[in-house]
Structure 1
Amino acid sequence: MPAPWAPVSLPSLVRMTRILVVTPSWVGDCVMAQPLYRLLAIRYPDMELDVLAPAWTLPLHARMPEVAQALDNPFAHGQLRLLDRFRLGQQLQARQYDQAIVLPNSLKSALVPWFARIPKRTGYLGEQRYGLLNDWRRLDEAAIPRMVDRFARLAAPENESGSVVTPNPLLTADAQQVQASMGDKHLTCHRPVVAFCPGAEYGPAKRWPVAHFADLGKLAVAAGAQVWIFGSSKELEIGEAIASGIGDHVFNLCGGTSLAQAIDLLSLSRAVVTNDSGLMHVAAALGRPVLAVYGSSSPIFTPPLSDSAQTISLNVSCSPCFKRECPLGHMKCLNDLTADYVWPQLFRYLS
Structure 2
Amino acid sequence: MPEATRTAGERQPGVAGERQPGVAGAVGERLPGVGRIAVLRANALGDFIFALPALAALRAAYPDAELVLLAAPWHAKLLAGRPSPVDRVLVIPPAPGIRAPDPGEPRPAPEAMRRFVEETRAEGFDLAIQLHGGGKNSNPIVTALGARLTAGLRAEDAPPLDRWLRYVYYQPEVFRYLEVAGLVGAAPTTVLPSLTVTDADWAQATEVLGAPTRPRVALHPGATDTRRRWPAGNFAAVARALAADGFEVLVTGTPAEAETVDRVIDAAAGAARPVVGTLDLGGLIGAYDQCELVISNDTGPLHVAAAVGTPTVGVYWIGNLLNGATPLRGAHRPIASWTVHCPVCGIDCTRGIYPARPGDGECSHRDSFVGDVPVAEVLEAARELLRPPS
TM-score interval for Structure 1 and Structure 2 normalised by the shorter chain: 0.7 to 0.9
Question: 1:34 deviation in Å?
Answer: 0.6
Percent pairwise identity: 25
Aligned to 1:348: 384
The answer on whether the counterparts of 1:284 and 1:305 sit within 8 Å (CA) in structure 2 is no
Q: TM-score, normalised by structure 2?
A: 0.75
Aligned to 1:197: 220
Alignment RMSD: 3.2
Aligned AA for 2:90?
L
Aligned to 1:103: 131
Aligned to 2:18: none
Of the three residues 161, 169, 188, the one matched with 2:211 is 188
Aligned to 1:177: 201
- Structure 1 portions without partners, runs of 5+: 1-13
Aligned AA for 1:128?
A
Question: 1:60 deviation in Å?
Answer: 3.9
Distance 1:22 1:128, change over 3 A: same
The answer on whether the counterparts of 1:223 and 1:350 sit within 8 Å (CA) in structure 2 is no
* Structure 1 Cα separation of the partners of residues 366 and 48 of structure 2: 32
Q: Is the counterpart of residue 154 in structure 1 residue 180 in structure 2?
A: yes
Aligned AA for 2:63?
P
Q: What do the CA deviations read for 1:208-248 (whole angstroms, capped 9, x no partner)?
A: 11111001001111111111112211210111121122233
The answer on whether the counterparts of 1:287 and 1:306 sit within 8 Å (CA) in structure 2 is no
Aligned AA for 1:342?
V
Aligned to 2:372: 336
- Structure 2 portions without partners, runs of 5+: 1-31, 99-107, 343-347, 352-361
The answer on whether the counterparts of 1:89 and 1:114 sit within 8 Å (CA) in structure 2 is no
Aligned to 2:87: 68
The answer on whether the counterparts of 2:154 and 2:167 sit within 8 Å (CA) in structure 1 is yes
Of the three residues 309, 312, 315, the one matched with 2:338 is 315
Q: What do the CA deviations read for 1:71-107 (whole angstroms, capped 9, x no partner)?
A: 2122233589774323212212343221010122234
Higher mean Cα deviation, 248-257 or 258-267?
248-257
Alignment of 1:1-351 (within 5 A): 17-62=35-80, 63=82, 65-78=84-97, 83-104=111-132, 105-126=134-155, 127-130=157-160, 133-141=161-169, 145-157=171-183, 167-183=191-207, 185-203=208-226, 205-248=227-270, 250-295=272-317, 297-304=319-326, 306=328, 308-315=331-338, 318=341, 321=349, 334-351=370-387
SS at match of 2:87: strand
Q: What do the CA deviations read for 1:140-198 (whole angstroms, capped 9, x no partner)?
A: 556xx21221111111237x79x868611000111343123320x24321121111111
* Structure 2 Cα separation of the partners of residues 330 and 100 of structure 1: 39
SS at match of 2:222: coil
Q: TM-score, normalised by structure 1?
A: 0.82
Distance 1:59 1:164, change over 3 A: same
Aligned AA for 1:147?
E
Aligned AA for 1:121?
T
